[in-house]
Amino acid sequence: MCEIKRAKYICIECCAAVCTHPECCEVFPHSNDTKIIICSTCFKFYEKKLNPEINYAKLILIKQKANVRKKHLQCTREHALSQVEDSVSKIVSSKNKQTT
């Protein structure tokens, strides 16, 4: 099947010989550091049948975590700004006392 590189692998569906070139096959990680290899023909066939599954509960949790992090960063930024303002006001007041 492969005309680009030397075939080293076999598709788990149709047993066609393929290499790992992106035009020849799709490589998926599997357990114990192994790989699942599907030739591009089989992949196109199964791709038509695939429907993305969205877990809305996890999506809501991710959004909530992002909002909490955003609020935390905003509070931290505001706290840092207030500390800078306090430091600047102390410096200005000490200079005013020195000049008078």
Reported confidence tier of residue 99, pLDDT bands at 50, 70, 90 = low
Question: So where are the chain's domains?
Answer: 9-49, 54-100
Q: Provide φ and ψ at 27, rounded to 5°.
A: -110, 130
Give the pLDDT score at 73. Answer: 82
Tell me the whole-structure pTM to 2 decimals.
Answer: 0.44
pLDDT tens-digit readout, 28-84: 888 888 888 898 889 888 888 877 788 888 888 888 888 888 887 888 888 888 888
The Cα 10–Cα 38 span in angstroms is 8
The Cα 65–Cα 27 span in angstroms is 32
The residue behind tokens 């047993």 is 15
Reported confidence tier of residue 100, pLDDT bands at 50, 70, 90 = low
